[in-house]
Structure 1
Amino acid sequence: MSSPCDPQHAPAGDVGVALMMIDSQLKSVYDGKSKADPGQQALIKQLTASLGPKGVDDVLDGACTLIFMFMQWLRMAYEDHDKDVIAHVVPNLVTSMRMMPKSVRPEAIPTMAGMVVAAGTGLSPSLWRKQYGYWTKDEMTPLEATAFLLAEHINRLTDDPDFATRMITEALSSSDED
């Protein structure tokens, strides 16, 4: 029986812009900066300001697609070691978010954890979230933080600071070729 949250029913969204935002944050953290490059920040701000409502929805869907892809990769990696992805990723994610009270309000953490569990069990994070209503303004930064934390988790596991970004870029490139 197919779920209404099956990824085949979900829009992929603008994965490129979502990935650019996450990659910018990763690079600033790895470079030891407290903030992303001002030029990159200005470019992202200009891009997101020009999107309009449909474009913003596409970036939200793109971030959810990233979360889904990251969780699928993590699921396979943990299963290769006979470990459960939910048991290893969700507690780490929740703990990290709780240490970010200025960026992630406590009431957003259960939603982000639920979305990661949905993705880890093969459901579309976007469709899972939308069954509870439209995104709130207070969920935008936690959504970005969730994608960032998952990408950073992958990069730590692989000991490669560009692995998560490269994995998605290669997947996008191969889908363009098909």
Structure 2
Amino acid sequence: MSSPCDPQYAPAGDVGAALMVVDSRLKALHDGRTETDPEQQQLVKQYAATLGPTGVDALLDGACTLIYMFMEWMRKACEDHDKDVIEYTVPVLVATMRMMPKTFRPEVIPTMAGLLIASGTGLSPNLWRAQYGRWTDAEMNPLEATVVLLAEHINRITDDENFATRLITDALSRADQDEDQD
């Protein structure tokens, strides 16, 4: 039986823009910066202002698509080692979230964990979240940080600080090639 949260019903959103934000944050982490520089923050604000309401929704959907794609990769990697993706991934990320109280207020951690669990069980994270109403302003930074933490988790597992970004860019390239062939 098909679920209303099946990924086939979910909009992919603006995966490229979401990946650009994630990659920027990952590069800042690898450069030893814990704060985004003011110039970078201003550029992101300017970009967000140009999006309008539908663009912001597309960016949110893109972030959720990244979570789904990353968790799908994690699920396959875990299965290759007889591990459960939820058991292997969610507790580590939730523990990290709890250590970041300025980014992850306690009330948003269950939602972010829910996005990971939904993805880990093959559901669309954005459709799962939509059951509970529109995104709140309080969830915006935690959503971004969740995607970044998941990408960094993958990078640490693979011992390659660009693996997660490359994983998505390769998938997007293959999708573009498939479209060109049709």
Shorter-chain TM range is over 0.9
1:50 aligned partner:
50
**How big is the shift at 1:6?**
0.3
CA displacement at 1:35 relative to structure 2: 2.2
Secondary structure at the counterpart of residue 48 of structure 2: helix
Per-residue deviation, 1:40: 3.6
How do 1:17-166 residues align onto structure 2 when only pairs under 5 Å count? 17-166=17-166
Structure 2 letter corresponding to 1:169:
T
1 CA distance for matches of 2:27 and 2:129? 28
Corresponding letter in the other structure for 1:162: N
The alpha carbon displacement at 1:42 in A equals 3.0
Aligned-pair distance for 1:34?
2.2
- 1: distance between equivalents of 2:11 and 2:87? 28
Q: Percent identity?
A: 69
CA distance in structure 1 between the aligned counterparts of 2:40 and 2:168, rounded to whole angstroms: 20
Q: Return 5+ residue gaps in structure 2 as ranges.
A: none
Contact 1:15 1:65 in 2 (8 A): yes
1:172–1:37 distance in 2 versus 1, CA, 3 Å = farther
Q: Over aligned residues, Cα RMSD in angstroms?
A: 1.0
Which runs of 5 or more residues in structure 1 are unaligned?
A: none
In 2 relative to 1, CA 171–37 (structure 1 residues): closer, same or farther, beyond 3 Å? farther
What is the count of residue pairs matched by the alignment?
Answer: 178
Shift of 1:156: 0.3
Alpha-carbon deviations, 1:86-110, whole Å to 9, x = none?
0011101110111111111100000
**Secondary structure at 2:83 match in 1:** coil
Return the alpha-carbon distance in structure 1 between the equivalents of residues 165 and 37 of structure 2.
17
- Match of 2:154, SS state, is helix
Structure-2 separation of matches of 1:40 and 1:113? 28
* Alpha-carbon separation, structure 2, partners of 1:51 and 1:85: 34
Whole-angstrom distance in 2 between the partners of 1:135 and 1:105: 15
TM-score by length of 2: 0.95
Question: Using the alignment, how far apart are the partners of 2:90 and 2:57 within structure 1?
Answer: 25
For the 8 Å contact 1:27–1:36, the answer to whether it is kept is: no
Within 2, Cα distance between the matches of 1:150 and 1:95? 12
Mapped partners of 2:39, 2:172: distance in 1: 25
Give the C-alpha shift of residue 2 in structure 1: 0.6
